[in-house]
Amino acid sequence: MMPARVARLFLAAMLVSVAPAAVGAGATAFAQQTKVQPKSERAERIIRTLRPDRQSRQSDAAYANRIIEMEIPLPGRHQMKKIILNYNHSIDLAVYYDFDSSQITPETAEVLDDLGYALEASELDGSQYLIAGHTDAAGKDGYNQWLSESRALAAKRYLVQKFDIDPDRLVVVGFGESRLADPRRPRDGINRRVEITLIEDGYSGPTAERFEAPRATYRKGPAPSAEDLGLVEYAPAPVAGSNADCEGTEGISDPRPSDTGLDDFGNRPTPVPCSDVAKNVAPTQPEPVDEEQPDQADQTTQPAPRSDNATPVVRPPASGAADQNSAIGQ
């Protein structure tokens, strides 16, 4: 029988020889669990394209020619808000949806995953971007405008839910068919895309032009809020004495006799601003929208005649989509 002392020494030697292997196995398992998702070539290209410049290039005329001012209609208001778009840092992504749908397909998810990894990268951290939907010219103008906004909003929701991205970093706009990538081929698939463009916060240099984003004239389902569209910080602050300040005061009355003009302590009653607001200020109502139906015609048919009140085509910026960096078909 082995002496107790010898047995203890033998056991200690075995533990020393096994410990490094155990530690190595544990470290390998931990590394596998915390392995960073490798970025694809497309994600790396998105990062390189959307990364803001470290130094100002306002003196560069060619660079400034791709910076434009856009006014966005605020939801439920007759007001616009200005943002500055830097098309030197813009990319088009081929994001595919089913006909008459904004549901994220598996093919769409693959593209949006690369965009999500890029937006999480340190090179883009803190920067704000426009998520703009575009359609081709098939179908009715108003319907295409709504569909482009719905698809861009679906892309934003996917990114925010799956990745660590602040929703306020992404501003959603629908352009419909107003800014075709290739006006010579209005029905071509190259026009159906999602545009990602850098928003220059606090920019005060020259811009190439100014234009207004179209307002949706067709709506199917609830309209998106300012929070959905990423426009909360751009919405004007409530005005003192406005209806927003009087929420919850409806139906409140003063039980004291109205002919005394005095309160319980012998002083004049304090004016109640909300009573004046309720009587004299009409609440803001969303703009009425037309009830259109999607064009069910085959995409290869000739375009339907346009009505006189269709949304006018907006001239693309000096740096049109055809000249942008693009990830379509790549």
* Residues 92-106: tens digit of each pLDDT: 998 877 777 788 888
Tell me, what amino acid is at 175? F
Can you give the pLDDT at residue 24? 41
Give the separation between CA 50 and CA 125, rounded to whole angstroms: 11
Integer Cα distance of 50 and 196 in angstroms: 8
pLDDT band at residue 184, thresholds of 50, 70 and 90? very high
pLDDT at 56: 79
Distance CA(158)–CA(129), nearest Å, equals 15
Q: Is the pLDDT of residue 2 over 70?
A: no
Name every residue whose Cβ is closer than 8 Å to that of residue 182 and which is 6 or more positions away in sequence. Answer: 188, 190, 191, 322
Q: What percent of the chain has pLDDT over 90?
A: 35
* Across 77-81, 119-123, 144-148, 212-216, least confident range: 77-81
In the 3-class helix/strand/coil scheme, how is the chain assigned residue by residue? CCCHHHHHHHHHHHHHHHHHHHHHHHHHHHHHHCCCCCCCHHHHHHHHHHCCCCCCCCCCHHHHCCEEEEEEECCCCCCEEEEEEEEEEEEEECCCCCCCCCCCCHHHHHHHHHHHHHHHCCCCCCCEEEEEEECCCCCCHHHHHHHHHHHHHHHHHHHHHHCCCCHHHEEEEEEECCCCCCCCCCCCHHHCEEEEEEECCCCCCCCCCEEECCCCCECCCCCCCHHHHCCCCCCCCCCCCCHHHHCCCCCCCCCCCCCCCCCCCCCCCCCCHHHHHHHHCCCCCCCCCECCCCCCCCCCCCCCCCCCCCCCCCCCCCCCHHHCEECCCC
CA 223 – CA 221 distance, rounded (Å): 7
Residue 131 clears pLDDT 80, i.e. is over it? yes
The dihedral built from the CA positions of residue 110, 114, 119 and 122, taken in this order, carries a sign that is positive
What is the pTM (predicted TM-score) of this model? 0.64
Quick one: pLDDT at residue 194? 93
In this prediction, what percent of the chain has a pLDDT beyond 70?
A: 59
* Structural domains for the chain: 41-236+288-326 (3.30.1330.60)
Instruction: Compute the average pLDDT of residues 149-158.
Output: 93
Mean residue pLDDT of the chain comes to 73
pLDDT at 54 over 60: yes
Q: When comparing pLDDT for 64 and 297, which is higher?
A: 64
Q: Using pLDDT thresholds of 50, 70 and 90, give the confidence band for residue 75.
A: confident
Measured in whole angstroms, the distance separating CA 17 from the mean position of its chain's CA atoms is 57
Nearest to residue 175, comparing CAs of 208, 147, 140, 138?
147
More confident residue, 70 or 268: 70
Contacts of 230 (CB under 8 A, 6+ apart): 131, 156, 167, 168, 169, 170, 171, 172
The answer to whether the CB of 81 falls within 8 A of the CB of 234 is yes
| Centroid of chain to Cα 201 | 15
Q: Which of 213-227, 253-267, 278-292, 296-310 has the highest mean pLDDT?
A: 213-227
Could you tell me which residues are beta bridge partners of residue 171?
Answer: 130
Is a pLDDT exceeding 80 seen at residue 227?
A: yes
List the one residue out of 282, 283, 169, 289 whose CA is nearest residue 232: 169
The predicted pLDDT at position 235 comes to 57
Q: What does the pLDDT read at residue 36?
A: 47
| pLDDT band for position 299 (cuts 50, 70, 90) | very low
Q: Tell me the pLDDT band of 280, cut-offs 50, 70 and 90.
A: very low
Is the confidence at residue 286, as pLDDT, over 70? no
Which pair of structure tokens corresponds to residue 165? 């991205």
Tell me how far CA of residue 142 lies from CA of 85, 101, 150, 175, 214, in angstroms.
24, 15, 13, 10, 10
